[in-house]
């Protein structure tokens, strides 16, 4: 049975996007090296396949390298676009569309430390005053 197509990047695609958000454009070899440095070893062909799938999904851009053999990849979507989409999906599916339920869940969990609580409180206050990013 085929897997349902995800509306969001898979775990591996997200790891690759994180690499490309930090520095791009990168060749397959360069992406593979960064992933290996982060303890994620992939076969060269597996990474090429994944990057091509990501291109088809519209997650990355690719440009032929000057020598004409291979590509350099860069992110097409920003970190904010991806995170907003994933958080929106989480709010819709897990919290019935209630962002406040998500926020309450975070506040009541052990996921936030004291500094993060303060940072969140400050962000809410800025939002109330109309000071958005």
Pairing of strands 71-75, 26-27: antiparallel
Report the pLDDT averaged over residues 95-121: 85
pLDDT of 40: 83
Instruction: State pLDDT tens for residues 16-64.
Output: 999 999 998 999 999 999 999 988 888 989 999 999 999 999 999 999 8
pLDDT of 100: 87
| Cβ contact 74:23 at 8 Å | no
Residues 19 and 44 in one domain: yes
Residues 51 and 93 in one domain: no
**pLDDT band (50, 70, 90) for residue 6:** low
3-state secondary structure of 10: coil
Q: What mean pLDDT value characterizes the chain?
A: 87
Q: Residue 72: how many CB atoms within 10 A of its CB?
A: 17
Residues 32 and 69 in one domain: yes
Picking from 41, 56, 75, the residue at the C-terminal end of a domain is 75
pLDDT of 15: 94
Instruction: State pLDDT tens for residues 111-126.
Output: 788 888 888 888 888 9
Query: DSSP for 71-115?
Result: EEEEESS-HHHHHHHHHHHHHHHHSTT-HHHHHHHHHHSSS--HH
Residue 36 CA to residue 66 CA, distance in Å, equals 25
Residues 83 and 124 in one domain: yes
Q: How far apart are the first and last CA of the chain?
A: 44
Residue percentage of the chain with pLDDT more than 70: 94
Residues 71 and 17 in one domain: yes
Total tally of structural domains belonging to the chain: 2
pTM reported for the whole predicted model:
0.78
Picking from 38, 57, 75, the residue at the C-terminal end of a domain is 75
The 8-class DSSP code of residue 42 comes to: -
Residues 83 and 40 in one domain: no
Residues 96 and 59 in one domain: no
Residue 113 is part of which domain span?
A: 79-128
């Amino acid at each position: 049975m085929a897997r349902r197509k995800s509306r969001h990047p898979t775990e591996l695609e997200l790891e690759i996007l994180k690499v490309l958000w930090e520095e791009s454009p990168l060749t397959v070899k360069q992406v593979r090296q960064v992933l290996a440095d982060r303890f994620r070893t992939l076969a060269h062909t597996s990474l090429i396949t994944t990057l091509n799938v990501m291109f088809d999904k519209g997650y990355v851009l690719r440009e032929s390298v000057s020598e004409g053999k291979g590509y350099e990849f860069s992110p097409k979507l920003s970190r904010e676009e991806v995170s907003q989409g994933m958080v929106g999906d989480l709010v819709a599916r897990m919290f019935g569309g209630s962002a406040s339920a998500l926020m309450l869940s975070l506040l009541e969990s052990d996921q936030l430390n004291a500094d993060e609580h303060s940072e969140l409180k400050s962000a809410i206050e800025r939002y109330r005053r109309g000071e958005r990013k």
